[in-house]
Structures are given as structure tokens and as C-alpha cells.
Structure 1
Amino acid sequence: MLNLTNVQIVYDNTIEAVREASLSVGKGSIVALLGSNGAGKSTTLKGICGVLYPEDGEIKGGQIIFEGRPLAGLPPDEIVRTGAVMVPEGRRLFDQLTVEENLVMGGYTRSRADAKRQIDMVYSLFPRLVNKRTTVSGYLSGGEQQMVAIGRALMSAPKLLMLDEPTLGLAPQITEEIFEIVARLCRQDGMGILLVEQNAQMALAIADYGYIMENGRVVLDGPADKMLRNEDVREFYLGFGEGGSRKNMRDVKHYKRRKRWLS
């Protein structure tokens, strides 16, 4: 479905944010993209979706192919029409509009009849939004805003849904609910999911495959269940040291990565 091959992304013609990154997402699969802050994860999603230009970012090399079609150079609305949609970090709702108005904005590429069907589908996924449909979205809780953001992305009936830190700042119960819905979209509807997430444990628990980025490069990848057992991943991203003891995440972040990761 989605294939990135040796992608290079540069900001201001000077800062190389992504270096020869390669990854793939298949139909009906969940792929977790993990890494510390500044590793290049969000930049990778922005490159796929064609929204690098507000920050003077540019794809300088490599290929981004979605269902056999190159995406590099396409405007964002055309990329949405191909079936690839992103839920950005921070939700980015139209906070002066109501819940339903936000959803309608997400369905601008669809016919009125299709948009109506998609709204009904969104409300079935997020029933707590039904009673909030006329509420101005800026007054919603963080969890409800995230549900609207995901629902808005689903309005275009995507084949590939990309989520950038969907559980950031959310309560554990809401986090579990959102992950359950993400898994349902994949398993029942055959949607491809590319998930950028700081909560590596939960992301790998629902994912089929995982990639880890460091300094703009993919340094490790493999089946999610295997990565959960990988000593490096457990130590650096899940916080477990030798013998299963819990390590301080501050120590983990500054711990020198094994050289074989970057060889």
C-alpha cells in the first residue's frame, strides 16, 4: 500500500531531518513508528501528506509510493483524494466550529450523500460525540477533541490513516478507547494504519510491525511482538534494564545507543 524508499527531507535547504528512511505499510496492518523527540517521525508523516511547505521543508531524495502512485510533489488535497490522510499532533481542530462542522470540513472531498454516511459512521465509532455534535469543539475535553480529529480524518474514507501522537496528554482510559478504535478500523475495515506514538508499549501491543527512528534514520525494524522482546527496545523505549528492572527514562534517553544499531 505505502512504500517509502530512501527518503530524504531537508528544512531550509540546510537541516537534514530525515535521512534515507525506508518503511512500508500494508493494507489491513498497523505499523508503529517510534523514536524520541526530534527523531524525524512527524516530519516523515508530513512528507507523506505533502504538508512540509509551511515549515520550508522539502523532499530532496527517495520515493514515496502509495498504491503505485508517487506522492512527492502532489498538493495535500490531491493526496487526501488518493486515500492517505493524517491526524496531526495536537489535533488542530477548527476550535470555533462545532463538532459536526469539523466533521463536515473533513468530508469536503466526498459527495453530500457519502459525507452523510461517513458522519453516521463516525458517530457509531465515537458515540459520546453524538450529544456533543452542536458543541463548539474548543470547549471539548482533550479526549473528545482527539475523537473529533480522528473522526474528521475518517470523513474522507481513507485507505491509509496516519496518526501523530494520538494519545498525547490523554487519560489512560481514553487512550485505551482510542487504541481499541484504531485496531478495529484496521481489523474490520482493512484500513492501513501508520502510528507515531510515544507510548511504545501500547503501540507495539496493537501493531503488526514496528520501526524505530534515531536522528532521522530508521535504525531498527521488525515484527511488533519480536520488538517487544528485543532487549534494546525494552531498555531504551520500554524502560526495562537488565534483569527486568525498571530504568529511569531520563537515564534511558541519554544512554549511549549500541553501535550495531547505527552500523
Structure 2
Amino acid sequence: MILIILDTRFPGAPPMLELRNVQVLYDRAIEAVRDVSLAVPEGQMIALLGSNGAGKSTILKAISGVLYQENGEIMSGSVALDGKPISGLQPGDIVRKGIIQVPEGRALFAQLTAEENLLMGGITRSRADSRAAMDMVYDLFPRVKERRHQTAGYLSGGEQQMVAIGRALMANPSLLMLDEPSLGLAPQVVDTIFDAILNLNQSSGVTVLLVEQNAQLALDVASYGYIIENGRIVLDGTVETLRKNDDVQEFYLGMSGGERKSMRDVKHYKRRKRWLS
């Protein structure tokens, strides 16, 4: 069955990826995601923002089909790629459809070299295609090329993140999902990685779903964003709209009245978020 649904947030064509009213439970008891709907148009970079534990990673796992590893399950709602349901498919089948996730924490094969990790990402492709993809990764991340023969477990955190993204790109994704790519990295390294992601999106047209706690960083590169709290989408809009929202400024950008606040002021700010009223 093909679901042809035009999303009013992105007029003109059905989204590449669409979640409609998705509910996820762990152990059939703990509700992690409730009634989540979001759309990812082809060729765009979409940000999913929220604090730790808000449900961001659960949404990515639901899309990738790996919830079962943590006794999670989609209890209701649908996930569709190009109008076709993918809920219930095996993770390998979802990967073959072009959805590739870079997990939080990178999850490299620590005993393999950087280049061997890349080759694992392109294992389903021909030798020629794999070689071309590896050259593309090395062009995108010259540091990885320099370290390609080093054991992945001994690389720096930033180098490991570059390898993890490169491994995902080896599979030629149509939709790249990134889970907290800035986590634990130095600002200069984060800039390098996000410049590469933005270049990839703009020059190659790879669609990106970006999960981030760093709202400022995500809003700098994305075109549209969703904010999730306590497992529910509480706000969405273009990055320009989100930047102007008083609650987003106050609780996610650390600003009030266009001026940056101290972390102490943000921590002790007591006004109730309007979207929770």
C-alpha cells in the first residue's frame, strides 16, 4: 500500500519520511514517545531538538527498526518512506531502502582500523562503488584519510565521529540520521563536522534528520525544526520562526529579549513554558 499524503508544512510534494501519531512503549509499560508526527522532505536538513531523555533517540530507533534491542515497540501510528509503510521491517531492509543512522556514541568497531570500519559500511556495494565512496569520505574528512590505518579505538572522539559518519555515507544513504553528532566534542571539531554535513546536504542533496541538544548549532544548519519534550512534539516551524519564539529563546538558546542570559539565570528561570499550558 502507498500512502500519498501532502503535508501542509511542506507544500508541493509528499515528504520523503513521515511519522504519523507514533506511540512507542518500552516493555509494553513505559511510554517514551506519544502521538509524534513529523515530516522530512527530500533534500532538506531537519532538526529534532530536545533535552536529554525527551525521546529523540527513541524516534530514530523507531525509524531504523532497532527498538527491539531495548524491548521497545511501536504500539500505534505509522512510519512511511516515500509513501510506503516501513514499520515492522527488519533493520537490514530499512538500510537497503536508504535510511542510515549514525548512533549516539559512534559505535565503531574498536578493534578495526578506520578504513576497515568504512569498508564495513559499504559491504553491500560493489568494489568500484565502495572505492568511489571511500574517496568521497576522504575528501570530506581529510583527517580520516590521515588516520585510515590506525585502530579506531585509539582515535580521538572527533576522529571517531568522522569515521562513524563516513561509514554511514559508504552505504550511499538517501536519508542520513545523525544522533547527537556534537556530543562530547571540542567546538573546533564540531565546526569541522557540521561544515561537512552542511556541505554534503547542499552539494549532494542527501536528506538529513539531525538530532541535537545543542539548539543553536542545529538551527544554524537546518531549514526546519521540531522540539520534543516528554515524548511529545510541542513546537515546530522554520528555523527563523523558532529563533523568534520567546520560549525557544528562553529555554533552548539561553536568551531573553534578544540578549544572552547567564547559565544561572536560565537555570533559575521559573516562567512556565507556554506550550505546556
Aligning the two structures, in what range does the TM-score lie when normalised by the shorter sequence? over 0.9
> In the aligned structure 2, how far is the partner of 1:230 from the partner of 1:130?
42
> In the aligned structure 1, how far is the partner of 2:85 from the partner of 2:193?
31
In the TM superposition, 1:23-102 aligns within 5 A as: 23-102=38-117
- 1:261 is matched with 275
Letter in 2 for 1:12: D
Task: Give the drift of 1:108.
Answer: 1.8
Would the aligned equivalents of 2:254 and 2:266 in 1 still touch at CA under 8 Å? no
- 1:124 is matched with 139
2:173 matches 1:182 = no
SS at structure 1 position matched to 2:197: helix
Q: CA RMSD in A?
A: 1.6
SS at structure 1 position matched to 2:255: coil
> In the aligned structure 2, how far is the partner of 1:40 from the partner of 1:138?
28
TM-score normalised according to structure 2 size? 0.91
> In the aligned structure 2, how far is the partner of 1:221 from the partner of 1:121?
34
Task: Give the drift of 1:54.
Answer: 1.0
SS at structure 2 position matched to 1:178: helix
Q: Which aligned segments of 4 or more residues in structure 1 are displaced greater than 6 angstroms? A: none
| Distance change (3 Å), C-alpha of 1:26 and 1:249 | farther
Letter in 1 for 2:33: V
Letter in 1 for 2:113: T
Per-residue CA distance 1:71-124 (angstroms, 9 max, x = gap): 111111111110001000000000000001100111122222211111111111
2:31 matches 1:16 = yes
Structure 1: give runs of 5+ residues left out of the alignment.
none
- 1:229 is matched with 244
SS at structure 2 position matched to 1:27: coil
| More displaced 10-residue stretch of structure 1: 77-86 or 238-247 | 238-247
2:123 matches 1:108 = yes
Per-residue CA distance 1:170-219 (angstroms, 9 max, x = gap): 11111111111111111111111100111100100111000000100000
> In the aligned structure 1, how far is the partner of 2:249 from the partner of 2:237?
14
Structure 2: give runs of 5+ residues left out of the alignment.
1-15
> In the aligned structure 2, how far is the partner of 1:38 from the partner of 1:250?
23
- 1:217 is matched with 232
* Percent identity (aligned): 59
Letter in 1 for 2:215: A
> In the aligned structure 2, how far is the partner of 1:217 from the partner of 1:250?
26
> In the aligned structure 1, how far is the partner of 2:195 from the partner of 2:106?
19
Q: How many residues align?
A: 262
> In the aligned structure 2, how far is the partner of 1:27 from the partner of 1:252?
38
Task: Give the drift of 1:130.
Answer: 1.2
- 1:200 is matched with 215
Would the aligned equivalents of 1:106 and 1:152 in 2 still touch at CA under 8 Å? yes
Letter in 2 for 1:261: W
SS at structure 2 position matched to 1:5: strand
2:152 matches 1:137 = yes
Per-residue CA distance 1:41-97 (angstroms, 9 max, x = gap): 000000000111110000111111111221111111111110001000000000000
Letter in 2 for 1:127: P
SS at structure 2 position matched to 1:186: helix
SS at structure 1 position matched to 2:43: coil
Would the aligned equivalents of 2:250 and 2:266 in 1 still touch at CA under 8 Å? no
SS at structure 1 position matched to 2:75: strand
SS at structure 2 position matched to 1:195: strand
Task: Give the drift of 1:244.
Answer: 2.1
